[in-house]
Amino acid sequence: MANKPKRRGTWDAVIGLLFLGVALLLPVALISYHPRDIPAWVPLISTTTVSNPVMHNLCGVIGAIVAGYLYFLFGAAAYLWIIFFAGYGLAKLMIRDFSLRERAGWGFLCVLCGACLLQLQPWFLHGWEKAFRIEGPGGWVGKWVGEKAFGGPLGPVGAPVVLLLIYLVSLILATGFHPILVGRKMWNDWRKARAEAEKKRLAEMEETERMEAEQRKLAKQAEKLERQLRKKPAKGEDAPAEEPSAAPEPQAESFPEPRIFDATAPSAKKPSLADIEANRKKRSEPRPGLVGGLALENYQLPPLDLLDPHDEEGRKPADPSELLGVQNTIIDTLAQFGIKAQPGDITRGPTITRFEVYPDKGVRVDRITALERDIARATRAQRINILAPIPGKDTVGIEIANSSKVKVTLRELLETEDWLQTGAKLPLALGKDVYGKTIIADLAKMPHCLVAGTTGSGKSVCINSIIASLLFRYTPEELRFIMIDPKVVEMQTYNELPHLVTPVVTDPKKVLLALRWVVDEMEQRYQIFAKTGVRNIGAFNDRPLPKSQAELDAEAAAKGEEESPEDAPETVTEDTAAEPDAPEEDEEEEETKPISVPRDSDLIIPDRMPYIVVIIDELADLMQTAPADVESAIARITQMARAAGIHLIVATQTPRADVVTGIIKANIPSRIAFQVASGLDSRVILDQKGAEKLLGQGDMLYLPPASSQLQRSQGVLVTDDEIHRLVKFVAEQAKPKFESSIHDKLNSPTIDEEDVTDEDEELVDKVLEVMKQERRASTSLFQRRLRLGYTRAARIVDILEQRGIVGPRDGAKDREILIDLDSID
């Protein structure tokens, strides 16, 4: 009995070898087959009474007869027998307990189906009928089983499909090859390989970072040593020469005494009320040359007492023993896992406290990162974040949420010296970092910003504080807003602001029009810069203003000269516009009749230009309506608008790659991330993980422009009541004066795409054809060429404008064509 498996193994090898031998000889016999090799006495396949005098077949008469029968029965499918024998031969040799009996039947069925399918296909191998004198490319089986038995009842489509199914089923059963399982395995293997590659990449990155840190440390030590060596001779000549000062003692590494900073403690020095008022008054003084038809000579910037007073004294100071207790827990936990570390500084910020530790020599910082959950458990913290190392320091930072959060109010920030003394062109009070340092960004440098976070994380409050920061600094003459709020509710409060270019845009369909207006405005500003010979808004606004007629008259009178009409031109030429000393129109006249440039009559050169800040609250809603158009408009604005003084702030609560696309990200370098759901979302906003560990309610990561270092900070809090008071104060001083060009456009009824009938579509096609032939577009042209009434032609032109094919109406001129006409089929 014990011998049985052994014997079976021997027979398996014999059968396997026999099959492989057949698989080797079969192709030789089949390829060298010649019908005349078959002797006359062989039934069915003999074609001649006189066979070849010299045998062609390399496997002799037996090979010829076998090949002849295989071709006769299976046609070209005879070659499938090679796979049959080779496959089963190898399986018998290599796979233990391979059961030929279970599989061979299915293999045979596979060959039969192969023959039938070859017969039913009409394209190739039909020449074999004559060459081999057989029934068809599938042989006898193909003819009688495939064509007659299957093809007859199932028809030309049904038969191949059924046969193909049988073929696949028998192939699966013959080989034990499960396509779904194999597919799944391949997919899993691919994912595993990717994860491994990613792991390897991260490990390499960590290794390089570690090496760099090591090198920095070594460099520091070398520097320290060098300093010590340099100091020594100065102490005395008799210093013992044999002192082994060159080799640093490894155990003697000393760490600075740990200190506790409470960044939330009431600030020692506060600016006086008089300072703040003086600063505000200074900023409120009418600045020379600001026009804009808003009659704002008496405009006062809002005072800070519109904001709620912040209660610094009410803040509980940090309890040092509590903080030291937490730090000891951290050090103990690390020690339990074999990591020796020394305590470092403790900094209590508004939302989190950062505990620093100095890992001992030879400790890899990522070992500390790996203990994140254990440290969280030991300190009973809800969420912790480990900075290994803290950028620019030789310590590892463990950030733990404070039990009680300290609010960072807008008033607190606007009263700081940092704010009062800031040299930023468009300062934004964003918040305070862990060290209590105020974060004041300059929108002019940003120059565009992306704000993202889940719902309730603090985005709207952040946007409100940005708007408020600007309202506290700028008059409507100096800064204008375009607010886009598809969510409708968020920005309604601002509708009364005189700073608005147009009422808050809430209809997603009109957003594109607003963005296009911004693009036009930007282009016009560049034209004005070119005419006046300046490069950006700063230079434009700082240029000396042309003198007024009254000033010129006074000068002329002083010189005793007679005024001649030729000396006082009514318009400024291109050259004189750039010439500060050239005579100009009277300033009062200028308001009603702006300075114009004769050769380009549309170009109005204002004395000063306001900054324009475009705020989009909820990009996702816009990306749903017209993703390509919105994306390209944003890209256009962000790429060029900086010099023109146009800045974009985009907020979203959906930081997905299809909303914050690569193009949008590439053009918006500054980012503010609030809490998000996952590391993936964080990567979309910041290109790195981290935002998923934030605590919500204004806890944020700020990526300043031209930097890769994130600043964790607590966002500034401004309440709805404060915003209402602020807007009321501003709105009482001036009424909104909307730009007519954009206002009219946004108020004109849009054509709903659903209302565009088939008849309209036909006309649109015809109009496009006319445009292609004439290379121009105007309502009257279409009226004439297509014999249309005015209303009909104007409607089609409106549809074209809405689809972005032609530009807006521009007086009696032709419409601008915005597409490549050659791309029309």
Ligand X SMILES: Nc1ncnc2c1ncn2[C@@H]1O[C@H](COP(=O)(O)OP(=O)(O)OP(=O)(O)O)[C@@H](O)[C@H]1O
Residues near ligand X (CB under 6 A) are 407, 453, 455-461, 653, 697-698, 715-717
Task: Tell the smallest beta-carbon distance from residue 775 to ligand X (Å).
Answer: 48
Taking the mean position of all CA atoms in its chain, how far away is CA 393?
30
Q: Residue 691 and residue 660: Cα distance in Å, rounded?
A: 16
CB closer to ligand X out of 429 and 512: 429
| DSSP structure class, residue 47 | -
CB of 650 closer than 8 Å to CB of 619: yes
Residue 608 CB neighbour total at 10 angstroms: 18
The two tokens of residue 658 are 């299809």
Q: In what order do the strands lie in the sheet with 384-387?
A: 260-262, 341-348, 352-359, 396-401, 384-387
**Dihedrals φ, ψ of 804, to 5°?**
80, 20
**From the annotation, which residues make up the binding site for ATP?**
453-460
Task: Tell the smallest beta-carbon distance from residue 186 to ligand X (Å).
Answer: 42
CB closer to ligand X out of 280 and 432: 432
CB closer to ligand X out of 584 and 681: 681
Task: Tell the smallest beta-carbon distance from residue 716 to ligand X (Å).
Answer: 6
CB closer to ligand X out of 289 and 696: 696
The two tokens of residue 665 are 């990200």
CB of 396 closer than 8 Å to CB of 390: yes
Task: Tell the smallest beta-carbon distance from residue 464 to ligand X (Å).
Answer: 8
**From the annotation, which residues make up the binding site?**
453-460
Q: For the packed helices 740-747 and 508-532, what is the interaxial angle rounded to 10 degrees?
A: 160
Task: Tell the smallest beta-carbon distance from residue 712 to ligand X (Å).
Answer: 13
Task: Tell the smallest beta-carbon distance from residue 457 to ligand X (Å).
Answer: 4
CA dist list (Å): 92 to 19, 108, 109, 639: 9, 17, 20, 68
**Dihedrals φ, ψ of 451, to 5°?**
-115, 125
Task: Tell the smallest beta-carbon distance from residue 489 to ligand X (Å).
Answer: 9
Burial 480-504 (b: 16+ CB within 10 A, else e): bbbbbbbeeebbebbebbbbbbbbb
Residue 272 CB neighbour total at 10 angstroms: 9
Q: Residue 568 and residue 279: Cα distance in Å, rounded?
A: 40
CB of 668 closer than 8 Å to CB of 448: yes
CB closer to ligand X out of 379 and 714: 714
CB of 20 closer than 8 Å to CB of 85: yes
CA dist list (Å): 123 to 70, 75, 108, 120, 149: 22, 15, 25, 9, 21
CB closer to ligand X out of 117 and 461: 461
Tokens 């990200």 identify what position?
665
Beta strand 646-652 with 449-452: parallel, antiparallel or unpaired? Answer: parallel
CB closer to ligand X out of 584 and 699: 699
Closest CA to 717 of 301, 347, 429: 429
**Dihedrals φ, ψ of 363, to 5°?**
-90, 125
Task: Tell the smallest beta-carbon distance from residue 310 to ligand X (Å).
Answer: 12
Q: Is 243 exposed, middle or buried (0-12, 13-18, 19+ CB in 10 A)?
A: exposed
Task: Tell the smallest beta-carbon distance from residue 703 to ligand X (Å).
Answer: 18
Q: Nearest 5°: CA angle at 756, between 755 and 762?
A: 160
Task: Tell the smallest beta-carbon distance from residue 721 to ligand X (Å).
Answer: 12
Task: Tell the smallest beta-carbon distance from residue 418 to ligand X (Å).
Answer: 18
Beta strand 600-604 with 699-703: parallel, antiparallel or unpaired? Answer: unpaired
CB closer to ligand X out of 583 and 698: 698
CB of 432 closer than 8 Å to CB of 700: no
| DSSP structure class, residue 768 | H
Q: Residue 74 and residue 66: Cα distance in Å, rounded?
A: 12
Task: Tell the smallest beta-carbon distance from residue 407 to ligand X (Å).
Answer: 5
- What count of Cα atoms within 13 Å lies in the side-chain half-sphere of residue 534? 22
Task: Tell the smallest beta-carbon distance from residue 203 to ligand X (Å).
Answer: 36
Q: Residue 347 and residue 399: Cα distance in Å, rounded?
A: 9
Tokens 């005349």 identify what position?
36
CB of 630 closer than 8 Å to CB of 804: no
CB of 659 closer than 8 Å to CB of 631: no
List all residues 6 or more positions away from 473 whose beta carbon is below 8 Å from its beta carbon: 283, 301, 426, 427, 479
Tokens 């607010």 identify what position?
483
CB of 464 closer than 8 Å to CB of 718: yes
CB closer to ligand X out of 457 and 548: 457
CB closer to ligand X out of 35 and 715: 715
CB closer to ligand X out of 120 and 651: 651
| Closest residue to bound ligand X by CB | 698
CB closer to ligand X out of 654 and 779: 654
CB closer to ligand X out of 605 and 623: 623
Task: Tell the smallest beta-carbon distance from residue 217 to ligand X (Å).
Answer: 37
Task: Tell the smallest beta-carbon distance from residue 439 to ligand X (Å).
Answer: 12
> What 3-state DSSP class applies to 682?
helix
CB closer to ligand X out of 128 and 674: 674
CA R_g for the chain: 42
CB closer to ligand X out of 251 and 404: 404
Whether omega for the bond prior to residue 389 falls within 30 degrees of 0, making it cis, is: yes
Q: Nearest 5°: CA angle at 656, between 652 and 660?
A: 60
The two tokens of residue 313 are 């004294």
